[in-house]
């Protein structure tokens, strides 16, 4: 039952993030002229490569660090909320976040240098 509740909670967070992201995107571009909305093909390729690079780096993180980063950054959750969800102390969730950020930075530096 606990895993089912976790799955449902994760799916709800995914849907909330998608909805929030869509609203932010619409609000961001609503007042801009149509000309500025169209990116050049080169810029789109660069953005796509950057997204893939970050995605690969995130997937290389240990699950607990990746989950903590996503919940904190995309889910806008506090360390206390993350700790409650993961059934750990707030200090542990903070540590996972900081270790994850440092590892992510290291992985991205390696990617850029290669």
Most confident of 9-13, 24-28, 48-52, 90-94: 90-94
**How many domains are there within the chain?**
2
Residue 24 reports pLDDT greater than 80: no
- Looking at residue 12, its pLDDT comes to 61
Mean pLDDT (the chain, rounded) = 80
- If asked whether residues 24 and 58 sit together in one domain, one would say no
Helix (H, G, I), strand (E, B) or coil at 46: helix
Q: Which domain holds residue 16?
A: 1-32
Render pLDDT for 34-89 as a digit per residue (tens, 0 to 9).
555 556 777 778 788 888 888 888 899 999 999 999 899 888 899 999 999 999 99
Closest CA to 16 of 77, 83, 101: 77
Supply the DSSP symbol for 13.
H
CATH of the domain at 75: 1.10.10.10
Please tell me whether the overall predicted TM-score, pTM, comes out greater than 0.85 for this model.
Answer: no
- If asked whether residues 79 and 100 sit together in one domain, one would say yes
Give the residue-averaged pLDDT of 100-108. 91
Helix (H) and strand (E) counts in the chain: 6, 0
- If asked whether residues 105 and 76 sit together in one domain, one would say yes
- If asked whether residues 87 and 109 sit together in one domain, one would say yes
Question: d(Cα 32, Cα 20) in Å, to the nearest integer?
Answer: 20
- If asked whether residues 73 and 49 sit together in one domain, one would say yes
- If asked whether residues 47 and 28 sit together in one domain, one would say no
- If asked whether residues 44 and 28 sit together in one domain, one would say no
Q: What percentage of the chain has pLDDT greater than the value 90?
A: 32
């Amino acid at each position: 039952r606990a895993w089912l509740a976790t799955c449902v909670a994760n799916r709800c967070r995914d849907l909330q993030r998608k909805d929030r992201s869509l609203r932010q995107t619409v609000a961001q571009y609503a007042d801009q002229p149509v000309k500025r909305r169209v990116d050049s093909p080169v810029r789109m390729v660069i953005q796509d490569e950057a997204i893939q690079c970050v995605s690969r780096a995130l997937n290389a993180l240990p699950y607990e660090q990746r989950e903590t980063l996503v919940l904190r950054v995309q889910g806008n959750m506090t360390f206390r909320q993350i700790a409650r969800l993961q059934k750990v102390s707030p200090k542990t969730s903070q540590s996972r976040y900081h270790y994850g950020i440092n590892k992510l930075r290291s992985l991205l530096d390696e990617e850029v240098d290669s």
